[in-house]
Structure 1
Amino acid sequence: MLRCSEYMGVPSENDKFVNVDGSKDWEMVLVFLKTCAWQKRYYDNFICDGTQWELKAKGVGFNIKSYGSNSYPDNFKEFVATINKLLAVAGIRIA
């Protein structure tokens, strides 16, 4: 089961859960997480306001903690597209 939350680490009544058992999309996410080599931080210091993101993922073969502020890894859009495909069944979309 995958928990999706708008709030960092704090369970909320607004959390949504996605059953990932046997999901091919989940397998694609796991392959991505096991093979990505993201840095810990991505920053664009020339933008004062904008978009921040964070990924924390831990499992067999991977432990990722990455954060960005107006800057992203090269394959970030690919990752978001893969996650969105998985989350669509719960009506969740990451912009």
Structure 2
Amino acid sequence: MVKRKCPACGSTDTVKLLYGMPNQEAYRDEQRREIVLGGCCISPNSPNRACKNCGQRFGGNNSELKNMCSFDFYVGGYFGTSYHVYIDGRREKKWLRYGQTSNGYNLLDLKNEIPSEYYAMEDVVLTEKELSNEQWYNLIDEIAACEVEYWNNNYFNSTILDGTQWHIEIGLPEGHEIYKSGSNEYPPAWKKFIEVLKKYVDERIG
């Protein structure tokens, strides 16, 4: 049987999460590290797999990302080019804003109205396009397929100074959010995630 890969670390050393009151057989399976006991409380969003390598719990029938309200993405660094993407899915018209900056200028805020002077800056590229509702919901599905919610909160490579940093901020209902970030290190599904963005942004990212 092919085991599911952990979305946080990429390990295939993953096992089933068992919920409810365990019997003696379940306790034995846990001691043999063939399962992980998940406790008595279960919800539609409860994960169903656990990684024996990093401890991450993941999977399940429903993804929090299905309720995504906004999306904010950045990747870049002090040297080279930086890329920014922002979408406010709470509005009737869902505008995707894209920004590309160079020479270390990486503090571009696309959440608010873009100042007109930004468009005149030589080192700043700005585009804006409207996503249809179908495109917005397809984007949500494809980001959810990357299992972003189960990535580690932070990926950090201490052997590299400066380099490339990134963050993803996903707004959820009632003020909740999913925030992931990294410095010169990335989750296993990073390339897949970037390809999803390129498909909808239709611009260079990284």
Say whether the fold is shared (TM-score over 0.5). Answer: yes
Per the alignment, residue 109 of structure 2 pairs with: 9
Q: With the length of structure 2 as denominator, give the TM-score of the two structures.
A: 0.38
Which structure features the higher share of helix residues? 1
Secondary structure at the counterpart of residue 94 of structure 1: coil
Q: Give the conservation status (yes or no) of the 8 Å contact 1:54–1:68.
A: yes
Q: What does 1:20-59 align with in structure 2 at a 5 Å threshold?
A: 20-24=131-135, 26-31=136-141, 32-33=143-144, 35-36=147-148, 37-59=150-172
Paired residues in the alignment total 91
Cα 1:18–1:9 shift into 2, 3 Å: same
Task: Tell me by how many angstroms 1:59 deviates.
Answer: 4.4
Task: Tell me by how many angstroms 1:45 deviates.
Answer: 0.5
Deviations 1:14-73 (A, max 9, x none): 43212111444x43321224842222211001111311111122245x832211100111
Let me know the Cα RMSD of the aligned residues: 2.6
1:71 maps to amino acid: E
Per the alignment, residue 71 of structure 1 pairs with: 185
User: Structure with the greater relative contact order (CA < 8 A, sep ≥ 6): 1 or 2?
Assistant: 1
* 13-22 vs 69-78, which moves further: 13-22
Q: Give the conservation status (yes or no) of the 8 Å contact 1:51–1:70.
A: yes
Q: Which runs of 5+ in 1 are unaligned?
A: none
- Given candidates 129, 132, 138, the residue that maps to 1:18 is 129
Secondary structure at the counterpart of residue 84 of structure 1: helix
Identity value in percent: 24
Cα 1:33–1:2 shift into 2, 3 Å: farther
Secondary structure at the counterpart of residue 48 of structure 1: coil
Q: Which runs of 5+ in 2 are unaligned?
A: 1-94, 101-106, 120-124
- Rounded to whole Å, the distance in 2 between the matches of 1:18 and 1:47 is 36
